[in-house]
């Protein structure tokens, strides 16, 4: 810590997910529970002792760095995609990546601790909304007594939470995706991965996920997949995330 | 961000609370809801726009620095006071201040935004478990959809949450405390502010709070206050925290 209160923080871990680009990442943690990730500690922190009794908690907090967004100047207001991309809210009233210090906060489900992995102990998590390789600065247990506030007012997010698309994924295309990745992919598509709300049905998108490029278009409330292509450089993160 | 993923972060705000020392600070945020605090932004961030629509949320997250604990080396295990001080759990299974990077995470109630203050806009918060002057690195809205997990398993914290002491605070002593500070002080005492569990009823403690020194002892499940002294250097934080 310096006199000004500035602080140099170092990654304790990195997360492995199927997301090689920001496009398609769920806008909040927990929205797509079938998404698997691995939290791999940096060598200094690979100690089973540091995780003692963590297995009793079903959820954990990750504090991490919006590393893919670093370097961009912050602005006082942002336009959350879930509000249509036109309404501005204050940056501190948002979970936007473009914020002072660029820290992210995610609650994810802890599905297991893999102590036998060569890079273990590794935390197996579900519902992570993080880019593959994202540096993690802290891991804390989710303590319901203080973290679960059922009476909390949800502000402008109240109107956004039920926005799910119908997904039309032709079976012949879906079969090209490994079975264990189908549920997460369908979840991501239903969450409407378009960067903004362009209502034109002609607009086509390519979603990179776990070594595949998934082509789709959206008309009204229906998302239609028309192409699945295996990418040459993909696959590794997904294989690691099981 | 450096190649190693290290990140230099800067305070966006500092919190004003009645706590001039660690002793007596509730062990988790939200436990003593009557505790008032003010989140005062650094000059660069004093912009009402950055808070637009925050007022619709009842709770916010603070990511902050355990600044009073910085410089201490981290250990793989810690002994949470609420577990009696002898049982060890992993540092990442705890909310202990003695952790890599020293980041704290607190959910507090947002009771108001004071835009007319000379150092405003200022966030008025309740339930903060932070030392006076603590640097805050980020403020995010508490979004129930992703942050509230009523089904979360509470691990070893399950057995600790109902531990409250009976407080015997003689009326003549309580009258020396300004009325608005009485409820928070009683809340802090009921939470058992002893640093560890020393069961000897002879042991006496002095709790510094908002310009007062409160002498007490604990016998069994009863905390008895026997002295209230106004401190010369106190008062200011409490006056600021209304």
Q: ipTM value, please give it.
A: 0.84
Three-state SS at A48: helix
Distance CA A139, CA B148 (A): 17
Please state, in angstroms and rounded to a whole number, the distance separating the CA atoms of residues B127 and B121: 19
Instruction: Report the range out of A134-138, A217-221, B211-215 with the highest average pLDDT.
Output: A134-138
Separation between Cα atoms, residue B221 and residue B165, nearest integer Å: 5
pLDDT of residue A68: 81
* Interface contact A140-B95, CB threshold 8 A: yes
Burial (0-12, 13-18, 19+ Cβ within 10 Å), A179:
exposed
Strands A222-230 and A166-168 turn out to be parallel
Q: Which residue of A lies nearest to B137 if distances are taken between CA atoms?
A: A101
Residue-wise pLDDT tens digits, A106-131: 999 999 999 999 999 999 999 888 88
- If residue A171 lies in a helix (H) or strand (E), which one and from where to where? helix A171-174
| B46: pLDDT strictly greater than 70 | yes
Q: Which tokens hold the place of A58? A: 């079903």
Nearest partner of B33 among B235, B183, B157, B242, judged by Cα: B183
Tell me what pLDDT residue A198 has.
Answer: 66
Q: What's the gap between Cα B125 and its chain centre?
A: 11
Euclidean distance between CA atoms B127 and B30, whole angstroms: 4
| pLDDT tens-digit series, residues A154-171 | 999 887 756 789 999 999
pLDDT digits (tens, 9 = 90+) for B78-114: 988 778 778 899 999 999 999 999 999 999 999 999 9
Q: Are A128 and A106 in contact (CB under 8 A)?
A: yes
Mean pLDDT of B50-60: 97
User: Which residues of A, range 176-235, sit inside 8 Å of B by Cβ?
Assistant: none
Is the model's pLDDT at A241 over the cut of 50?
no
Count CB atoms within 10 A of the CB of residue B98. 15
> pLDDT-derived band of residue A1, with 50, 70 and 90 as boundaries?
low
Q: Which of A70, A71, A146 sits opposite B30 (nearest CB)?
A: A146
Question: What single-letter DSSP state applies at residue A72?
Answer: P
> Which region among A27-36, A160-169, A210-219 has the lowest average model confidence (pLDDT)?
A27-36
Size of interface A-B (CB pairs under 8 A): 270
Average pLDDT of the residues in A145-152: 94
Identify the pLDDT of residue A107: 95
How high does pLDDT run on average in chain A?
87
- Higher-confidence residue of B194 and A91: namely A91
Confidence at residue A233, expressed as pLDDT on a 0 to 100 scale: 52
Q: Return d(Cα A85, Cα A222) in angstroms, integer.
A: 19
Of B1, B11, B45, the CB nearest to A67: B1
Out of A95-109, A195-209, B120-134, which region has the weakest mean confidence (pLDDT)? Answer: A195-209
């Amino acid at each position: 810590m310096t006199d000004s209160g500035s602080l140099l923080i170092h990654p304790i871990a990195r997360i492995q997910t199927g997301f090689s680009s920001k496009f398609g990442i769920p806008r909040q943690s927990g929205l797509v529970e079938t998404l698997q990730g691995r939290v791999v500690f940096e060598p200094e922190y690979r100690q089973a002792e540091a995780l003692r009794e963590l297995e009793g908690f079903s959820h954990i907090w990750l504090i991490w760095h919006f590393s893919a967004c670093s370097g961009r100047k912050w602005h006082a207001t942002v336009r959350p995609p879930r509000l249509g991309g036109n309404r501005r809210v204050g940056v501190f009233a948002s979970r936007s990546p473009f914020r002072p210090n660029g820290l992210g906060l995610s609650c994810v489900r802890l599905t297991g601790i893999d102590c036998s992995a060569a890079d273990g102990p590794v935390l197996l998590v579900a519902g992570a909304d993080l880019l593959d390789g994202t540096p993690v600065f802290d891991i804390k247990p989710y303590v319901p007594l203080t973290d679960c506030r059922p009476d909390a007012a949800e502000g402008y997010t109240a109107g956004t939470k039920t926005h799910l698309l119908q997904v039309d994924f032709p079976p012949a295309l879906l079969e090209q995706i490994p079975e264990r990745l189908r549920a997460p992919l369908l979840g991501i598509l239903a969450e409407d991965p378009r960067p903004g709300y362009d209502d034109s049905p002609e607009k086509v998108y390519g979603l990179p996920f776990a070594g595949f490029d998934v082509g789709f278009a959206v008309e009204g409330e229906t998302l239609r997949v028309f192409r699945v292509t295996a990418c040459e450089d993909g696959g590794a993160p997904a294989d690691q995330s099981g």
